[in-house]
């Protein structure tokens, strides 16, 4: 999750709503992209990863400052818990170094961006 220094609570609401409603999984007949997380047993992979820009080195100049970002991050988690199942929403330690392993399940990367007002996808 990436927070821009100008993000507001309405941006969080937009992203939480989209994240919980995006259809990523196949249905009972095997048709892809037909069911959202509320129709499945739970998250099976990382649903959203946002970056400000694709570069060789990360650029944090437009990132929200730590204290405000932590408050917004916790509000976002609360929005997800309110819209889904509290027992299935997990997070790491905000601002801490973490070793994360990821196995992508699919041919696309999705970016939910409130500034774009849409869900973008990228093959690969």
CA torsion 123→83→96→98, rounded to 10°?
-50
Query: Containing H/E element for 74?
Result: helix 66-83
pLDDT above 90 coverage of the chain, percent: 18
Q: Which domains does the chain have, with CATH numbers?
A: 9-91+100-123 (3.50.80.10)
**The pLDDT of residue 19:** 87
What are the tens digits of pLDDT across the range 9-47? 999 999 899 888 888 888 889 998 888 888 875 554 433
Q: What is the mean pLDDT of the chain?
A: 76
Report which of residues 56 and 104 the model is more confident about: 104
d(CA 71, CA 68): 5
Spatial separation of the C-alpha atoms in residues 29 and 115, rounded to whole Å: 35
Using only C-alpha atoms, the chain has a radius of gyration, in whole angstroms, of 15
């Amino acid at each position: 999750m990436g927070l821009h220094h100008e993000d507001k609570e309405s941006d969080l609401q937009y992203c939480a709503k989209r994240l919980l409603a995006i259809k990523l999984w196949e249905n009972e007949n095997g048709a892809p992209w037909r069911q959202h997380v509320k129709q499945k047993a739970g998250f099976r992979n990382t649903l959203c990863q946002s970056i400000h820009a694709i570069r060789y080195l990360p650029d944090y100049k437009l990132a929200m400052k730590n204290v405000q970002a932590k408050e917004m991050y916790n509000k976002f988690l609360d929005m997800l818990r309110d819209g889904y199942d509290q027992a299935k929403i997990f997070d790491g330690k905000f601002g801490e170094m973490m070793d994360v392993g990821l196995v992508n399940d699919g041919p696309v990367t999705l970016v939910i961006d409130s500034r774009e007002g849409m869900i973008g996808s990228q093959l690969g």
